[in-house]
Amino acid sequence: MFIVVEGIDGCGKSTVASLLAAEIGKKRPVFHTFEPGHVRDGLYRKLIMENVDNPFVVAALFTVDRAEHVEKMIKPALAQGKWVVCERYADSTLAYQGYGMGLDKDLITRMNEQAIKGLWPDKIFYLDIEPGLALARLRNKEKDALEGQGLEFLQRVREGYEEIARARGYVYVDATLPPEIIVKHILEEVKLL
Ligand code: TMP
Protein backbone atom coordinates (compact mmCIF):
# COMPACT_ATOMS: atom_id res chain seq x y z
CA MET A 1 0.00 0.00 0.00
CA PHE A 2 1.41 3.34 -1.10
CA ILE A 3 -0.04 6.33 0.76
CA VAL A 4 0.77 9.98 0.01
CA VAL A 5 -0.05 12.98 2.18
CA GLU A 6 -0.33 16.28 0.31
CA GLY A 7 -1.15 19.84 1.32
CA ILE A 8 0.12 23.41 1.43
CA ASP A 9 2.86 24.51 3.84
CA GLY A 10 1.57 24.68 7.39
CA CYS A 11 -1.16 22.05 6.90
CA GLY A 12 0.45 19.74 9.47
CA LYS A 13 1.52 17.09 6.98
CA SER A 14 4.66 15.95 8.80
CA THR A 15 2.92 15.56 12.16
CA VAL A 16 0.11 13.56 10.56
CA ALA A 17 2.46 11.40 8.47
CA SER A 18 4.65 10.59 11.50
CA LEU A 19 1.67 9.64 13.63
CA LEU A 20 0.14 7.67 10.77
CA ALA A 21 3.36 5.73 10.13
CA ALA A 22 3.62 4.94 13.85
CA GLU A 23 0.03 3.60 13.91
CA ILE A 24 0.48 1.57 10.71
CA GLY A 25 3.74 0.23 12.15
CA LYS A 26 1.78 -1.46 14.96
CA LYS A 27 0.10 -3.69 12.37
CA ARG A 28 2.21 -3.73 9.21
CA PRO A 29 5.84 -3.15 8.20
CA VAL A 30 6.04 0.52 7.24
CA PHE A 31 8.42 2.95 5.55
CA HIS A 32 7.90 6.63 6.30
CA THR A 33 9.46 8.92 3.74
CA PHE A 34 9.20 12.42 2.29
CA GLU A 35 9.99 14.69 -0.63
CA PRO A 36 12.11 16.60 -1.20
CA GLY A 37 15.39 15.52 0.28
CA HIS A 38 15.24 11.96 1.59
CA VAL A 39 17.53 10.72 -1.17
CA ARG A 40 21.18 11.78 -1.20
CA ASP A 41 20.86 13.38 2.23
CA GLY A 42 19.05 16.40 0.86
CA LEU A 43 21.46 17.21 -1.97
CA TYR A 44 18.70 18.19 -4.42
CA ARG A 45 16.84 20.10 -1.72
CA LYS A 46 19.96 22.18 -1.17
CA LEU A 47 20.29 22.87 -4.93
CA ILE A 48 16.59 23.79 -5.09
CA MET A 49 17.02 26.37 -2.32
CA GLU A 50 19.86 27.96 -4.30
CA ASN A 51 17.66 28.30 -7.40
CA VAL A 52 14.24 29.37 -6.14
CA ASP A 53 14.03 32.20 -8.68
CA ASN A 54 14.08 29.78 -11.60
CA PRO A 55 10.87 27.69 -11.77
CA PHE A 56 12.22 25.37 -14.47
CA VAL A 57 15.38 24.55 -12.52
CA VAL A 58 13.33 24.08 -9.37
CA ALA A 59 10.83 21.75 -11.09
CA ALA A 60 13.61 19.79 -12.78
CA LEU A 61 15.41 19.29 -9.46
CA PHE A 62 12.22 18.26 -7.65
CA THR A 63 11.48 15.68 -10.34
CA VAL A 64 15.04 14.34 -10.35
CA ASP A 65 14.84 14.04 -6.57
CA ARG A 66 11.56 12.15 -7.11
CA ALA A 67 12.95 9.84 -9.80
CA GLU A 68 15.75 8.72 -7.49
CA HIS A 69 13.43 8.54 -4.51
CA VAL A 70 11.10 6.21 -6.42
CA GLU A 71 13.85 3.95 -7.74
CA LYS A 72 16.06 3.79 -4.67
CA MET A 73 13.62 3.99 -1.79
CA ILE A 74 9.91 3.69 -2.58
CA LYS A 75 9.97 0.79 -5.05
CA PRO A 76 12.34 -1.32 -2.92
CA ALA A 77 10.20 -0.73 0.18
CA LEU A 78 7.02 -1.75 -1.66
CA ALA A 79 8.81 -4.78 -3.10
CA GLN A 80 9.63 -5.84 0.47
CA GLY A 81 5.93 -5.72 1.28
CA LYS A 82 6.14 -2.51 3.31
CA TRP A 83 3.42 0.08 3.51
CA VAL A 84 4.86 3.38 2.33
CA VAL A 85 3.76 6.70 3.83
CA CYS A 86 5.19 9.55 1.76
CA GLU A 87 4.94 13.28 2.51
CA ARG A 88 4.43 14.96 -0.88
CA TYR A 89 4.79 13.38 -4.31
CA ALA A 90 4.29 14.24 -7.99
CA ASP A 91 1.32 16.55 -7.44
CA SER A 92 3.39 18.86 -5.24
CA THR A 93 5.38 19.90 -8.31
CA LEU A 94 2.22 20.43 -10.35
CA ALA A 95 0.60 22.49 -7.56
CA TYR A 96 3.67 24.53 -6.52
CA GLN A 97 5.65 25.00 -9.74
CA GLY A 98 2.66 24.77 -12.12
CA TYR A 99 -0.12 26.66 -10.34
CA GLY A 100 2.08 28.55 -7.86
CA MET A 101 5.03 29.58 -10.05
CA GLY A 102 3.32 29.49 -13.46
CA LEU A 103 5.52 26.88 -15.15
CA ASP A 104 3.94 24.96 -18.05
CA LYS A 105 1.75 22.26 -16.47
CA ASP A 106 2.04 19.87 -19.42
CA LEU A 107 5.81 20.02 -19.13
CA ILE A 108 5.61 19.23 -15.40
CA THR A 109 3.23 16.36 -16.10
CA ARG A 110 5.66 14.90 -18.60
CA MET A 111 8.61 15.29 -16.22
CA ASN A 112 6.59 13.64 -13.47
CA GLU A 113 5.69 10.74 -15.75
CA GLN A 114 9.39 10.15 -16.42
CA ALA A 115 10.16 10.36 -12.70
CA ILE A 116 7.52 7.98 -11.38
CA LYS A 117 7.10 5.65 -14.37
CA GLY A 118 3.50 4.80 -13.58
CA LEU A 119 3.93 4.40 -9.82
CA TRP A 120 0.87 6.31 -8.61
CA PRO A 121 -0.12 6.06 -4.93
CA ASP A 122 -3.01 3.83 -3.90
CA LYS A 123 -4.41 6.71 -1.83
CA ILE A 124 -3.65 10.43 -1.67
CA PHE A 125 -4.85 12.25 1.45
CA TYR A 126 -5.13 16.00 1.09
CA LEU A 127 -4.91 18.04 4.29
CA ASP A 128 -7.03 21.03 3.46
CA ILE A 129 -6.46 24.32 5.24
CA GLU A 130 -7.14 27.95 4.54
CA PRO A 131 -3.79 29.60 3.53
CA GLY A 132 -4.08 32.46 6.05
CA LEU A 133 -4.45 29.95 8.85
CA ALA A 134 -1.59 27.85 7.51
CA LEU A 135 0.70 30.88 7.47
CA ALA A 136 -0.35 31.80 11.00
CA ARG A 137 0.67 28.30 12.09
CA LEU A 138 4.08 28.83 10.47
CA ARG A 139 4.62 32.28 11.96
CA ASN A 140 7.17 31.18 14.54
CA LYS A 141 8.83 28.57 12.38
CA GLU A 142 12.07 29.34 10.56
CA LYS A 143 11.11 29.27 6.88
CA ASP A 144 13.24 28.19 3.96
CA ALA A 145 13.29 30.06 0.64
CA LEU A 146 10.34 28.10 -0.74
CA GLU A 147 8.18 28.32 2.35
CA GLY A 148 8.47 32.08 2.63
CA GLN A 149 6.53 32.98 -0.53
CA GLY A 150 3.46 34.41 1.12
CA LEU A 151 -0.31 34.32 1.06
CA GLU A 152 -1.06 34.87 -2.62
CA PHE A 153 1.38 32.17 -3.63
CA LEU A 154 -0.19 29.67 -1.22
CA GLN A 155 -3.66 30.62 -2.46
CA ARG A 156 -2.63 29.76 -6.03
CA VAL A 157 -1.12 26.49 -4.84
CA ARG A 158 -4.31 25.61 -2.98
CA GLU A 159 -6.45 26.38 -6.03
CA GLY A 160 -4.13 24.09 -7.97
CA TYR A 161 -4.57 21.29 -5.46
CA GLU A 162 -8.34 21.71 -5.68
CA GLU A 163 -8.26 21.17 -9.44
CA ILE A 164 -5.81 18.28 -9.22
CA ALA A 165 -7.89 16.70 -6.43
CA ARG A 166 -10.91 16.43 -8.68
CA ALA A 167 -8.93 14.69 -11.42
CA ARG A 168 -7.04 12.40 -9.06
CA GLY A 169 -9.71 11.43 -6.54
CA TYR A 170 -8.01 12.74 -3.41
CA VAL A 171 -9.45 11.97 -0.02
CA TYR A 172 -10.04 15.38 1.58
CA VAL A 173 -9.25 15.83 5.25
CA ASP A 174 -9.95 18.91 7.37
CA ALA A 175 -6.42 19.88 8.48
CA THR A 176 -7.72 21.91 11.42
CA LEU A 177 -8.85 18.72 13.19
CA PRO A 178 -6.53 17.26 15.85
CA PRO A 179 -3.84 15.03 14.24
CA GLU A 180 -5.11 11.96 16.14
CA ILE A 181 -8.58 12.37 14.61
CA ILE A 182 -7.11 12.86 11.13
CA VAL A 183 -5.03 9.70 11.51
CA LYS A 184 -8.05 7.72 12.71
CA HIS A 185 -9.93 8.82 9.61
CA ILE A 186 -7.03 7.82 7.34
CA LEU A 187 -6.69 4.43 9.04
CA GLU A 188 -10.39 3.81 8.44
CA GLU A 189 -9.97 4.73 4.77
CA VAL A 190 -7.12 2.26 4.32
CA LYS A 191 -9.05 -0.35 6.30
CA LEU A 192 -6.58 -0.71 9.16
CA LEU A 193 -9.17 0.19 11.84
P1 TMP B 1 8.37 20.46 2.86
O2 TMP B 1 8.10 21.71 3.70
O3 TMP B 1 7.19 19.59 2.75
O4 TMP B 1 9.64 19.79 3.28
O5 TMP B 1 8.64 20.98 1.38
C6 TMP B 1 9.57 21.98 1.16
C7 TMP B 1 8.99 23.01 0.25
O8 TMP B 1 9.11 22.53 -1.10
C9 TMP B 1 7.54 23.35 0.46
O10 TMP B 1 7.41 24.76 0.42
C11 TMP B 1 6.84 22.73 -0.72
C12 TMP B 1 7.90 22.78 -1.77
N13 TMP B 1 7.78 21.80 -2.87
C14 TMP B 1 7.62 22.27 -4.16
O15 TMP B 1 7.56 23.49 -4.38
N16 TMP B 1 7.55 21.36 -5.18
C17 TMP B 1 7.66 20.01 -4.97
O18 TMP B 1 7.60 19.21 -5.93
C19 TMP B 1 7.84 19.53 -3.62
C20 TMP B 1 7.98 18.06 -3.36
C21 TMP B 1 7.89 20.46 -2.60
CA–CA distance, 122 with 148 (Å, rounded to integer): 31
CB 91, CB 127: distance < 8 Å: no
pLDDT of residue 146: 79
Q: Work out the pLDDT band at 191, boundaries 50, 70, 90.
A: very high
Q: Work out the pLDDT band at 41, boundaries 50, 70, 90.
A: very high
Atom of ligand 1 nearest to the CA of 14: 3
pLDDT at residue 96 greater than cutoff 80: yes
Q: What is the residue with the minimal CA distance to atom 15 of ligand 1?
A: 96
- 175 CA from centroid of ligand 1 (Å): 17
- Smallest CA-to-CA distance from 176 within 114, 145, 132, 146 is with 132
pLDDT at residue 37 greater than cutoff 80: yes
pLDDT of residue 55: 97
Q: What is the pLDDT of residues 126-150, one digit of tens each?
A: 999 999 999 999 988 887 877 778 9
Q: What is the residue with the minimal CA distance to atom 12 of ligand 1?
A: 146
Residue ranges and CATH numbers for the domains of the chain are: 2-189 (3.40.50.300)
pLDDT of residue 144: 81
pLDDT of residue 137: 92
pLDDT of residue 143: 78
Mean pLDDT for the stretch of residues 176-188: 98
Longest dimension (CA), the chain: 45
Burial class (CB in 10 A: 0-12, 13-18, 19+), 4: buried
**The whole model's pTM is what?**
0.97
Q: What is the pLDDT of residues 69-89, one digit of tens each?
A: 999 999 999 999 999 999 999
pLDDT of residue 73: 98
CA–CA distance, 101 with 97 (Å, rounded to integer): 5
Q: What is the residue with the minimal CA distance to atom 21 of ligand 1?
A: 92
Q: What is the mean pLDDT of the chain?
A: 96
SS3 87: strand
What residue ranges line ligand 1, CB within 6 angstroms? Answer: 9, 35-36, 62, 87-88, 92-93, 96-97, 146-147
- 92 CA from centroid of ligand 1 (Å): 7
High-pLDDT (> 70) share of the chain, %: 100
